[in-house]
Amino acid sequence: MGKTFVRRVLSGELGTPKKVVVMSRDEAKQHYMRMEYLHKSSATDEVIYRNSQNTLEFRIGDVRNYGDVCAALKNIDIVINAAALKQVPTCEYFPQQAVLTNCEGASNITRALREHDYPIETVLGISTDKACKPVNVMGMTKAIQERIFISANIYSPKTRFICVRYGNVLASRGSVIPLFHDQILKGGPVTITNPDMTRFLLSLNQAVDTVFAALKYAKAGEVFVPIAPSANIMNLAKALIGDRKIEIAITGNRPGEKLHEIMASEDEVQRCRRAGDYYALQPMLPELWGDAANDESALSGEYSSGNDVLDLPGTIELLRRNKLMLEQVPTQAAGEELLR
C-alpha cells in the first residue's frame, strides 16, 4: 500500500507535494524504491547522497523509537501511519512485538505532537477489519491503535486524527492470492483453512482511494470504511485454479482466524454516516460528535463479509478486473514483481 500511495501522491492527483518522506527500518526496500523513482538500474553514489534534496526522501528509522519519530515529524503537514505487524498467526505467537509496533508506534506519534507541538494538519492511521470485535492479537492491537489516534483529538486539538479500516488487499505481501498462485504453479495442492470463510477484498488502488477519501472528507475522530465486495475463500481458490487438475486441501483455521470479518459492529453502526462510497464511523467520545450525533445511521446492522458474498462468476470477474488470474501474469517472476 505504501508504495502505491507514494506513486499516486507524486503523480499530483492531490496537488503537487513539496516533499514526501518515507520512514521505515527496511533499508533494502528503500534502496530499490529509491532507484525506481530515480530511474536507475544500478546503485550509484548519487542515489543516497542526494537523498535529502529529492522530493521523495527516505529515512531509516523505527516507529517504535520515539526519537526517530520526532525527527521524522519535523516540517511535516500530513502523517500516514502504515507501520504494522499484520500477519495474524505471527502476532499470536509474538504478541509483545505486535504491541510495540501497532500500539507503541501510534503512541509515539501522538506523544511527539503533544510534547513538541508540531504544526501537523492531519494524522491518519491505517487499520483493519480485524480491529472490529477483535478475537486475535493483530486485531486487538489495531483496535487500540485506532483509540490512541481518536483520543489524540482531545489532547492535540490543532491536529485532525482520523483512521481508515479496510479488509484484505488483493495480492498484497503475505496475502492468500500470492500463496494460491505459488501452489497452483507447483501443481498443488491449494490449501484452504475453512471452505466457509469469507473476506472483504480490495485492490491496492482502492486501499489508497480510501486513504485519499478520508484525507479529504473525514471529520476528527472518524474511521472511514470502504463499501467493498466480499468473497468466499473456496470460490477464490476455484476461480484461480480454473480448469487445472489441482487438488484443494482443507487444513483448518489458523491461530486467531475468524470465519467472517466485520468492518462495522452492531454498536458502531449506531454512529455511522454515508460518505460517497464509504461509511464514516463516528468516535465513541462525545466531545467529537459534532452536529452529526443525532443523524439517522447509514447502516441498520453489522457490516460483515458474510452478508453479501460474491458468487463464483463474480469472484472470477473481480480477479480478472484486477489482473490477478494466472493467465494474466505472464511468468512466475513477473507475477512476483507484480505482487511486490
Q: Which residues are catalytic?
A: 130
Q: Tell me which residue of 159, 155, 178 sits closest to 81, measured CA to CA.
A: 159
Contact 229, 182 (CB under 8 A): no
| Residue 199 phi, psi (nearest 5) | -145, 145
Contact 128, 143 (CB under 8 A): no
| Torsion sign across C-alpha atoms 170, 172, 175, 177 | positive
Distance (Å) of CA 239 to CA 117, 201, 203, 315? 52, 14, 17, 7
In angstroms, the CA 264 to CA 274 distance is 13
SS3 161: strand
SS3 20: strand
Distance (Å) of CA 33 to CA 53, 56, 68, 188? 16, 10, 21, 33
**Length of the chain, please?**
340
| Torsion sign across C-alpha atoms 212, 295, 262, 111 | positive
In angstroms, the CA 306 to CA 297 distance is 21
Bridge partners of 231?
199, 310
Distance (Å) of CA 30 to CA 25, 299, 323? 9, 41, 26
Helix, strand, coil abundance in the chain, percent, nearest 5: 45, 20, 35
